[in-house]
Amino acid sequence: MEYVDLYMVHWPVTMKAGRFTAPFTPEDFEPFDMRAVWEAMEECHRLGLARSIGVSNFSAAKMSRLLAFAAVPPAVNQVELNVGWRQEKVREVCAKNGVVVTAFSPLGAIGTMWGSNAVMESGVLQDIAAKRGKTIAQVNKNLKAKGGKIRLARFFIIYM
């Protein structure tokens, strides 16, 4: 492989060595050096190893902090985004700065330790879906389309 299309910082945290089993405690983390990490990402981009660079799970405050010093702004911020968690501040900061927002867990995060069944078990969405002869996923996708330019990502993660 000569390059990747998109190289992303998955989470704006640094874990202590050997601490990779959830649930996590404050003692599992070290300070995150955002500037050093982003400069390394920019170097990968400059060298042609990554066509685009981006972030995931960055809040509006972290995006603003990153954008204040980034020579190459992130192309993407991928965040959990669904009808129950609209991420309006993140979307606003990203839109203002030309960063594409992509959604993960648009149907919630059923079965994960960090998610919930709130989207798929929403009585309101179930009623709307039943009245329109649609699935909850179709209703959710339509609400996203009407709520602004949001990409629903389909991708593969390569762990090295």
Q: What is the pLDDT of residues 15-26, one digit of tens each?
A: 888 877 778 888
9 in a structural domain: yes
Q: What is the CATH number of the domain that holds 98?
A: 3.20.20.100
pTM score of the predicted model: 0.80
* Tokens encoding 83: 């009808």
157 in a structural domain: no
Question: Distances in Å between the alpha carbon of 142 and those of 3, 105, 118?
Answer: 34, 15, 18
70 in a structural domain: yes
Residue 18 near residue 31 (C-beta atoms within 8 A): no
Which structural domain, as residue segments, surrounds residue 38? Answer: 4-109
102 in a structural domain: yes
pLDDT value for 142:
63
User: For strand 100-104 and strand 50-56, is the pairing parallel, antiparallel, or unpaired?
Assistant: unpaired
Number of domains into which the chain is organized: 1
pLDDT at 117 over 70: yes
Rg over CA atoms, the chain:
18
Say how many C-beta atoms besides its own lie within 10 A of residue 41's C-beta. Answer: 21
132 in a structural domain: no
- The dihedral over CA atoms of 134, 136, 137, 138, expressed in degrees to the nearest 10, equals 30
* Tokens encoding 138: 């179709």
- pLDDT, tens only, 46-62: 999 999 999 999 999 99
pLDDT value for 89:
95
